[in-house]
Amino acid sequence: MANIVIDRIRKAFGAFEALKEVSLTINDGEFVSLLGPSGCGKTTLLRIIAGLETATAGDIRIGDRSIIGLPPKERGLAMVFQNYAVFPHMTVYENVAFGLRMQKADEARVKKQVEKAAGLLHIEPYLDRYPNKLSGGQRQRVAVARALAVEPKVLLMDEPLSNLDALLRLEMRTELKTVLQAAGTTTIYVTHDQTEAMGLSDRIAVMHGGVVEQVGDPVEIYNHPATRFVGGFIGNPPMNFITVPVERGHVAAGAEQLSVPQGAGDSVVLGLRGEAVALVPREAGLEMQVRVAEPMGSHLLLTGSIQGQPARVVLPPSEAVRSGDVIGLRPDRNRITWLSPESGKSYP
């Protein structure tokens, strides 16, 4: 079993607290992304798990064993980093075999494992080549194959696709998912790319300012963000946040009355996904001033304001809305997130 328990990890660099009591459990065979903007502490957390950085406080257990005092190579982990880290003076075969040689595996096992990993990543044709004769994407596959060849219980990846162009990223993303699912590897994956995290992960831990703001599966995080930060960080366009007055437990949206959760005060933040609306006559819904209408083919993207606050809305491509129009929007009641204007947290 390779359950990973991150238990109240703290990390200070001098007076700066990069991680403030982070706790997170990753289940055996699960793919969990650490997602957040630059500087939120995700790389630091990954490096602490790997043993490349020392925590200021807290514990990390794999299975039932604390690994916090162990050197990196005794932790049973494999790592893939952003800069590929393939050895230029070794052939692809020797690169993939590297971890196995470190483990002093016999030649038969090296061959078997290299062939298996190379097969998974489709790099068999290049086994005799040197890395400088490979494309970026091929080199990336070599790095992943090397990590998988040792059949690690746990795989740590830090932005492994960030050096690839958009098309290759997408291709590698799909492949990674297939390969890791097949191998049953427990994976912790650092990224600032929400699309990548959504596509790959069983669960996402959204980090912000050294804390985990929310942990959940991608759909749950998308539909029910726990905080304004999470709703704004996940999704393209980001969630709309419109502060609206509350009267007798309701918010008026044109002809409609939306009931707000108990505990809301005089005003509340209406968190609304851009696509969770329907076009209705102007007086029947929330009024939106459309500044720019962009036909995107698959959808119509509208940018403007609702009640004087910036908003982005996505409608079916067939809707006839133009820049400068004033329209009515009916929010899908089941897809509204109500948040506190003060704390930025969503109401349960």
Instruction: Tell whether residue 132 is a contact of ligand ATP (CB under 6 A).
Output: no
Shortest Å distance, C-beta 66 to ligand ATP: 22
Instruction: Tell whether residue 40 is a contact of ligand ATP (CB under 6 A).
Output: yes
Q: Which is nearer to ligand ATP, 12 or 170 (CB)?
A: 12
Window of 10-18, 242-250, 273-281, 284-292 that interacts with ligand ATP by CB under 6 A:
10-18
DSSP state of 325: -
Instruction: Tell whether residue 6 is a contact of ligand ATP (CB under 6 A).
Output: no
Shortest Å distance, C-beta 15 to ligand ATP: 10
Instruction: Tell whether residue 43 is a contact of ligand ATP (CB under 6 A).
Output: yes
Q: Token digits for 201? A: 């992960």
Q: How many residues sit close enough to ligand ATP to count as binding (CB under 6 A)?
A: 12
Shortest Å distance, C-beta 198 to ligand ATP: 17
Pairing of strands 31-35, 186-191: parallel
Binding pattern for the stretch 175-204 against ligand ATP, x by CB under 6 A and - elsewhere: -----------------x------------
Q: Which is nearer to ligand ATP, 36 or 160 (CB)?
A: 36
Instruction: Tell whether residue 328 is a contact of ligand ATP (CB under 6 A).
Output: no
Burial of 185: CB neighbours in 10 Å, binned 0-12, 13-18, 19+: buried
Q: Give the Å distances, CA to CA, from 92 to 99, 151, 166, 268.
A: 13, 18, 24, 58
Q: Token digits for 300? A: 């119509």
Shortest Å distance, C-beta 42 to ligand ATP: 4
Q: Residue 1, SS3?
A: coil
258: phi then psi, degrees, rounded to nearest 5:
-105, 130
Q: Which is nearer to ligand ATP, 3 or 195 (CB)?
A: 195
Instruction: Tell whether residue 39 is a contact of ligand ATP (CB under 6 A).
Output: yes
Alpha-carbon distance of 25 to 63, in angstroms, equals 11
Alpha-carbon distance of 91 to 107, in angstroms, equals 16
DSSP state of 88: T
Alpha-carbon distance of 64 to 11, in angstroms, equals 23
DSSP secondary structure, 224-259, as one string: S-SBHHHHHHSTTTTPEEEEEE-BTTEEEETTEEEE
Count how many residues are written for the chain: 348
Instruction: Tell whether residue 36 is a contact of ligand ATP (CB under 6 A).
Output: yes
Alpha-carbon distance of 158 to 33, in angstroms, equals 10
Q: Token digits for 2? A: 């390779």
Instruction: Tell whether residue 33 is a contact of ligand ATP (CB under 6 A).
Output: no
Window of 37-45, 175-183, 220-228, 276-284 that interacts with ligand ATP by CB under 6 A:
37-45
The residue number with the shortest CB distance to ligand ATP is 43
Instruction: Tell whether residue 41 is a contact of ligand ATP (CB under 6 A).
Output: yes
Residues near ligand ATP, by CB under 6 A:
13, 16, 18, 36, 38-44, 192
